[in-house]
Homo-oligomer: A and B are copies of this chain.
Amino acid sequence: MLGNFTYCNPTKLYFGKDALDGLKEELKKYGKNILLVYGGGSIKKNGIYDKVISILSECGKKVYEDAGVMPNPTYEKLLEGVARARKAKADLILAVGGGSVCDYAKAVSVSVHLKGDPWDEYYDKFEDVKCKVVPVGCVLTMVGTGSEMNGGAVITNRELKLKIGHVFGEEVFPKFSILNPEFTYTLPKYQMVAGVYDIMCHILEQYLSGEDDNTSDYIAEGLMRSLINSANIAVKNPTDYEARSNIMWTATWALNTLIAKGKTTDWEVHMLGQAVGAYTDATHGMTLAAVTMPYYNYILPYGLHRFKRFAETVWGVNPAGKSDEEVAKAGLKAMEEWMKSIGLVMNLTDLGATPEMIEGIADATLTMDGGYKVLTYEEITEILKKSL
């Protein structure tokens, strides 16, 4: 655990089949005006909307609705949400949905009392929050992003063709999140497996980085082994409660800051995937899956030690008689087979990307220090071409 760090994660989680009971407890802490944020309306079909409205009404709250949050929430929608929250004088923003809805709610929460423009301050200049933040609570209906227990909020600027995640501090973390695995049952299989890979990728972005083996790496391996096991069960039987609940819990711990402690990271798979998302509007987890193999096979020599450990510990590769590189490559091969077996999209073409887009996507791909290799523009282009 090299370096100095702080850890503070105050979000209260209510987990299980009765988790929504926790909403009643939490609502006592906030004023009358609730901005209810949700997406395309699937929560009206599966009954979750009615359950939430019934609790809000029982608790005497005045509900202002902000529907239509899209899978990749846009800057325009964010500005609309800020206006709604101001008009409602919202005491609490209640997000009911998946990671996009939670991300959007957090982005609104930090912008309500902001004097400047949220895109300029957070997504362009990456400034810290200096104004009052409206509290956010989440009722999760889709699993993967970990947004229910962190300060992240990804927003897409269609005009600039940029999809950028800003990571806020603990003051922007949801105050509470309601995690009922059964609320995720009605999700189409395509979305479920995209979520599974989003989780896996979150863990890998933090794990495939650094030479020293610290406690975070060991926890990450445990999370990956649990996820793979549960995903294999859930793909066959999407209503296996135990499998879906383990996936849900793993998602939360994959990206609530814990397994990044003592590590540096560059989040390059997300940088590539988010650039693809800005051009294609494809499902986030699938954009990550599509660039994974070309990217990891390219950086493998730079992080050989860790790729080898990954192969042995997570994929059970037997190192006997193999070179380190052979072991590491066998691990990636095992992951590739697993990704195909659960139904992930393994190329960008199937997500709507075309060779003509590569230049633009490469331009939109950010890079950071902290991983095994800072990619050059040429390397990014090459990896994207191989991902088509």
Shortest C-beta distance, A152 to chain B (Å), equals 19
Interface segment among A4-12, A66-74, A101-109, A121-129: the answer is: A4-12
Q: In whole angstroms, what is the CA distance A220 to B253 when docked?
A: 13
Q: In whole angstroms, what is the CA distance A214 to B233 when docked?
A: 13
For chain A, the count of residues having a C-beta within 8 Å of the partner chain is 47
Which chain B residues lie closer than 8 Å to A15 at the CB level?
Answer: 1, 4-7, 261
Q: A212-B242, A215-B253, A218-B226 are in contact. Are A248 and B6 (CB under 8 A)?
A: no
Q: Tell whether A40 is near chain B: CB-to-CB under 8 Å.
A: no
Question: Do residues B19 and A14 form an inter-chain contact, with CB atoms below 8 A?
Answer: no
Which residue on B lies nearest to A214, using beta carbons? B246
Which chain B residues lie closer than 8 Å to A214 at the CB level?
Answer: 226, 242, 245-246, 249
A212-240 interface code vs B (CB 8 A; 1 in, 0 out): 11110111111101100110000000000
A170-200 interface code vs B (CB 8 A; 1 in, 0 out): 0000000000010000000000000000000
Which residue on B lies nearest to A248, using beta carbons? B1
Shortest C-beta distance, A244 to chain B (Å), equals 9
9 closest A-B pairs by CB: A4-B16, A222-B222, A218-B226, A218-B222, A1-B245, A8-B12, A7-B13, A10-B10, A215-B226
Instruction: List 8 A-B residue pairs with CB atoms under 8 Å apart, sorted by A's residue number.
Output: A1-B245, A2-B242, A7-B13, A9-B9, A215-B223, A217-B226, A218-B223, A219-B226
Interface, chain A (partner B; CB < 8 A): 1-19, 22, 181, 212-215, 217-223, 225-226, 229-230, 241-242, 245-246, 248-250, 253, 258, 261-262
